[in-house]
Amino acid sequence: MAGHTAKRSELGNKYLLELGGDYAGWLADLSGRAACGDIETGPTGRLRSRRDELAATTDLAMPPAFFRWLLGSFSEPLRGEDGVIALVDADGGRLSQMHFSGAVVTALTVPVLDVRRPGQPKLALKFSPSATRQSVPRGPPIAPAVLERRRPALTSEPQLEIDGLAEECSNIRRYEALTVAQAIAVGPAGALTRARPLVATPLIVTLPESKARGFILWADRLSPGATSQRTATLTIGPPQLGFSVVLHNLRIGKIRYEDTTLDGEGTARLRRDATIEMSATRVSFCMLPRE
């Protein structure tokens, strides 16, 4: 796939992803050894029994098939997916395609989200297939409706829920990037296992100090390093789909304060923001349709 040169889509999304025969969205970037290997000239391609790791970025508003893949990858037991990634030119033509089997997502990064600076943030993921093969472009033509979805779709603002802190969460202005990762191992007969529990980087949020009273009281009541029974649920994705990262047994690590200048008519004003850093002892995922 890397050996071809294509006119880059003005929208950035140039790789079509299909999982189990279903449309699963567009990828903006794709990198990794399995994606850049030699292309077999025969009609079926050459099978590679490697478990290389590929990296890609996607829009937040991906189809349900994509989020089901994430759920299966981080479930117990792990569930991999078979699929196809096609390199597509600006006019919708297939330039090349890679077939993969047993692919499991090994890392997912929710990007920095700032409600004051709307844009098109991208999810980043790494995934590991059990085998890949390149082939000449085959398969049905790309439907016009699928090509239209190349344009980033609307996403809902991220929703964070923490037990007992509903008002504080509604005033969050910024979320730092959050990464969840796992290490996988191949057992007897090719069965996949998780080498160690899921790990997540700290959940870091920023809100006005005047709205952060619940966080401050929580930190004052906990001894240093102690965990609580509170759970954080961060929901992202398209408006009709509730895909959530769930962080269990939170503890507060740090609270930092910073003065921010507010622009506006008349005299500039200062606001003091609080940045809260939290860690969890366990991570899980869920997906429930939004009402």
Burial of 210 (0-12, 13-18, 19+ CB in 10 A): exposed
Residue 227 confidence (pLDDT): 73
Q: Tens digit of pLDDT for each residue in 191-248?
A: 778 888 899 999 999 999 999 999 999 998 888 767 788 999 999 888 778 899 999 9
What are the φ/ψ torsions at residue 46 (nearest 5 degrees)? Answer: -110, 130
Q: Tens digit of pLDDT for each residue in 200-210?
A: 999 999 999 99
| Mean pLDDT (whole number) for 163-188 | 92
Query: pLDDT category, 168, cuts 50, 70, 90?
Result: very high
Query: pLDDT category, 155, cuts 50, 70, 90?
Result: confident
Residue 262 confidence (pLDDT): 67
Q: Is the distance from CB of 157 to CB of 74 less than 8 angstroms?
A: no
C-alpha span between 64 and 290 (Å, rounded): 13
